[in-house]
Amino acid sequence: MRYFLKLSFQGAEYHGWQIQPNDVSVQETIEKALAMVLRATTPITGAGRTDAGVNAMTMYAHFDSATPIADVDLLKRSLNGILPQDIAIHDVIPVDASAHARFDATARTYKYFAHTAKSALLRTMSWQCNPRLDFELMNEAAKHLLRYEDFTSFSKLHTDVKTNNCHVTHACWQRYDGIDSHVEQWVFTITADRFLRNMVRAIVGTLVDVGMRKISVEEFCGIIEKKDRCAAGTSMPAHALYLWDVEYPYL
């Protein structure tokens, strides 16, 4: 029997999602909890790989059980009782045996949070940006992301993917009312069928260069067309990035 886990996590204490030889990962932590509850080694497959320090509001992973799980709510409660406070299981969902958390996902959404002045409340979950950032100009540049398919310029070098093509369907900065009313708060939301390693943080870093008027909107487009990571902006801090949603045709 195959099951999907719907979960969230704060990434500060983990070296990303995927199991690492000498570092603690989210995947490894959940697998250890599953092994304790199910009393069997239980590998899980995630919807994707998040980098070290990146958070997830919504993440899915699948696992197989040799026998049907009689009470999925009990399994959820048991896992949450074992897992650390920075990982939460929200649902255990029976699915078809052919369902795949990674390959069946039709869209993924990330959000990057920023605030324009010092905030004691937001410092661990949002990036303090320069108050002179021109978000309107950044949005003008962000619209052009929907015109391109090859995002090599925003990909971490020497990855094992077969293609750097992605279909971006939404990319926009918006003001929002967050938990600290003393500061101006912004969020960048981007949706695509898939993302490359480090892609969102590199896009945000390059958009910040546009917002600081270090490069023009035309130069932003030129960076994409160069297909050269060295041409793009810096990779932004991980703590402000969240995998926000993963979409499936059957959930």
Q: For residue 97, how many other CB atoms are within 10 A of its CB?
A: 7
Q: Which of 51, 104, 209, 245 is catalytic?
A: 51
Task: State how far the Cα of 137 lies from the Cα of 116, in Å rounded to an integer.
Answer: 16
Q: Is 51 a catalytic residue?
A: yes
C-beta of residue 143 within 8 angstroms of C-beta of residue 171: yes
- DSSP state, residue 183: S
Record the tokens describing residue 115, joined without a space.
């605030």
User: What spatial distance separates the first Cα and last Cα of the chain, rounded to whole Å?
Assistant: 17
Q: How far apart are CA 157 and CA 230, in angstroms?
A: 10
DSSP 227: T
Q: Which residues are catalytic?
A: 51
